[in-house]
Amino acid sequence: MPDADKTAPARKPLEIDFPLAGEIVTAPYYTFRIAAYGSARIDISIDGGDWLPCRFWIGYWWHDWSDYESGAHSVSARSRDADGAITAVESRRVDVRIKADAEGDELPRRRVRRVRSG
């Protein structure tokens, strides 16, 4: 029987899971999912902008993205250890093509509105 450790694919310390490489984002909002192993904190930078914190939930790091235009964008994620030292960086190109309405105009960006119950 093969040794499971030898046949399992190697895990990278930091991976941008979504969007997938080559995936085209068509919605007016998107949530990045980042896998990071042994990291105390993950930050994300979009198009070379400020580093923004991601939130940790159900085993992954997440960042919500909105108010972007169609075209090519770059996203970089970095992991930090408990002392704040950067331990890994990964970058990916993200292509955005926001779906057009019947007249060929881009759809307006919609904000998610939360409704309180009660």
- Per-residue pLDDT tens digits for 55-107: 999 999 999 999 899 999 999 999 999 999 999 999 999 999 987 643 455 44
Q: How far is CA 10 from CA 5, 62, 69, in A?
A: 9, 22, 35
pTM reported for the whole predicted model: 0.73
Nearest to 44 by CA among 61, 19, 68: 61
In the chain, what are the domains?
13-95 (2.60.40.10)
